[in-house]
Amino acid sequence: MSEPKYKRVLLKVSGEVLAGEDSFGIKPEMIDLIAEQIKDMVSLGVETAVVIGGGNIFRGIAGSASGMERTSADYMGMLATVLNALALQNILEGKGVFTRVQSAIEMKELAESYIRRRAIRHLEKKRVVIFAAGTGNPYFSTDTAAALRAMEINANVILKGTKVDGVYDKDPMKDPSARKYSELSYIDVIGKGLHVMDFTAVTLCMDNSLPLIVFDIKEKDNVRKVLLGEKIGTLIRKAPSN
Per-residue confidence (pLDDT) for residue 174, from 0 to 100: 85
Per-residue confidence (pLDDT) for residue 240, from 0 to 100: 52
Per-residue confidence (pLDDT) for residue 107, from 0 to 100: 95
Per-residue confidence (pLDDT) for residue 184, from 0 to 100: 95
Per-residue confidence (pLDDT) for residue 59, from 0 to 100: 75
Per-residue confidence (pLDDT) for residue 139, from 0 to 100: 92
Per-residue confidence (pLDDT) for residue 85, from 0 to 100: 97
- In whole angstroms, give the CA distance from residue 190 to residue 173: 21
For 69, counting Cβ atoms within 10 Å of its Cβ (0-12 exposed, 13-18 middle, 19+ buried), the class is exposed
Per-residue confidence (pLDDT) for residue 173, from 0 to 100: 80
Output the pTM of the full model: 0.93
Neighbours of 29 (CB within 10 A): 8
Q: Enumerate domains of the chain plus CATH numbers.
A: 1-140 (3.40.1160.10), 185-242 (no CATH)
Q: Give, for all 242 residues of the chain, the pLDDT tens digit.
A: 579 999 999 999 999 999 988 878 999 999 999 999 999 999 999 999 999 999 899 876 676 677 889 999 999 999 999 999 999 999 999 999 999 999 999 999 999 999 999 999 999 999 999 999 999 999 999 999 999 999 999 999 999 999 899 999 988 888 889 999 999 999 999 999 998 899 999 999 999 999 999 999 999 899 999 999 999 999 999 875 54
